[in-house]
Amino acid sequence: MKEHLAEIAARIKDMDPVEALKYFAEAYPGQIVFSTSFGWEDQVVTHMIFSNDIAIDVFTLETGRLFPETYYVWNRTLEIYNKPIKAYYPQAEALQEMVNRKGPNSFYESVDNRKECCGIRKLEPLKRALNGNKLWVTGIRSEQSLNRHDMVNLEWDEGNQMIKFHPIFFWSLDEVKEYIRKHNIVYNTLHDKGFPSIGCAPCTRAVREGEDFRAGRWWWEDQSKKECGLHATK
């Protein structure tokens, strides 16, 4: 698969996102998934998949620490499209052991603690969600963070040994918002309150004027490179 990436990229180069999603769904039947956290971008891609009946399974990581607004969008999305979204939860034993040992908010105390929490609540469930698949679709956009400027819309995920496709990678935020307005797509109202990126409630705050897109995520840490590991490129 990895050796054919350039050939595949050339094939989809002139396709719009929906055309590309349909192409991949046919190329990898039963082995393609889309991960959603119910933010602006993910709601756009979900709409593309569900409204066009594209055979791509949609899943989310239920960390147990999501905002009430996120659960509302999740539920409304199920109601609107009448399509399944599979939830992957942390392994109960690992989560209980961490909380019993360090308490419910240990992630504030050190980067290592935060990474441990992300590992249990996100990374391990993600491995299960991706297992057995060949292509992972995401809602990533290039301008979302400096760490993502070096990425491309179709790439090889070495850690998960699979192709990764970002159908709206080159879209601006204005294009995302316009698509949402045009298609009347339900979205997380926290976006209207200064939350461009929405994750777990204890680890996400609104950003201030002039701050980076992801400044509201893990704001107590070094601003230069803050990722939970879901989309690590190395």
Residues with a known catalytic role: 228
Q: How many CB atoms lie within 10 A of CB 219?
A: 16
Q: How many CB atoms lie within 10 A of CB 172?
A: 12
How far apart CA 89 and CA 61 sit, in angstroms, is: 6
How far apart CA 151 and CA 198 sit, in angstroms, is: 21
State the DSSP string of 22-79: HHHHHHSTT-EEEE--SSHHHHHHHHHHHHTT---EEEEE--S-B-HHHHHHHHHHHH
Among positive and negative, which fits the CA dihedral 70, 72, 73, 77? positive
How far apart CA 84 and CA 36 sit, in angstroms, is: 12
For residue 116, the SS3 value is: helix
The amino acid sitting at 160 is N
